[in-house]
Amino acid sequence: MKHGKHYVDSAKLIDRSKLYDSDEALNICCQTAKAKFDETVELHVRLGVDSRHADQQVRGAVVLPHGTGKDVRVVAICKGDAAKAAEEAGAMMVGDADLIAKIQNEGFVDFDVLVTTPDMMGQVGRLGKILGPRGLMPNPKAGTVTPDIGRAVTEAKAGKIEYRLDKQNIIHVPVGKASFGPEKLAENLKVVMEAIVKAKPAAAKGQYIKSATVATTMGPGVKMSSSKYGV
């Protein structure tokens, strides 16, 4: 694979054989952000678990102290007082059967987060084939299925992000924008790493965090030590 000039120049800043302290890794990341847009800084963590086993799943959600730097579009499927609370919290769109039909019949998925109440999950469950592959399906573990719908909308808009294993046993998650600078990114990353460590399954054996890497949208990866998080 041939990389562009900016990528090649950025790669020269990185010692591939070194595990950087998280603060230093993020500082380098910010230096590699040379695109014309505000690049997202992403964390990629390979875990020593097997996602094929239900008792080794790692999934959850955290609110980043400095948000994601993105204007999050939240829709809510709920009724009555919950619908009113969702609207007051700033949901982009609120509905029940009508919104479900819009997603099911029109393929409407132009949003970032879908929240709903437990009483609506029987109907929302039918949208699994549409929402599931896009990572938009509400889940109680992620806090997107809850009776406190107003809080769910507020947290999503404030920078609540979901983390979960992919089939390669890696978690990919944004920790902010390059424009945040190393200090704010470090605070966001700390919250995510501590949550992943806390979510370690009891069935996990051996080394839990195999590797951790941070990278901007267009930049090279910077390998990071996870020792400061107790693993």
pLDDT tens profile 13-71:
788 889 999 999 999 999 988 888 999 999 999 999 998 899 999 988 899 999 999 88
Q: What is the pLDDT of residue 204?
A: 87
Q: For 63-108, how does the pLDDT look when each residue is reduced to its tens digit (9 = 90+)? A: 999 999 988 999 999 999 999 999 999 999 999 999 999 999 999 9
Q: What is the pLDDT of residue 1?
A: 60
Q: Which of 224, 226, 213 is nearest to 19 (CA)?
A: 224
Q: Which of 211, 214, 228 is nearest to 25 (CA)?
A: 214
Q: What DSSP line would sit under the chain, residue for residue?
A: -PPPHHHHHHHTT--TT--B-HHHHHHHHHHH--SSS-PEEEEEEEESS-TTSGGG--EEEEE-TT--SS---EEEE--HHHHHHHHHHT-SEEESHHHHHHHHHH-----SEEEE-GGGHHHHGGGHHHHGGGT----GGGT-B-S-HHHHHHHHHHTEEEEEB-TTSEEEEEEEEGGG-HHHHHHHHHHHHHHHHHT--TT--S-SEEEEEEEESSSPPEEE--GGGT-
Q: For 140-149, how does the pLDDT look when each residue is reduced to its tens digit (9 = 90+)? A: 988 899 999 9
Is the pLDDT at 190 greater than 70, yes or no?
yes
Percent of the chain with pLDDT over 90: 72
Mean pLDDT of the chain: 91
Q: What is the pLDDT of residue 231?
A: 62
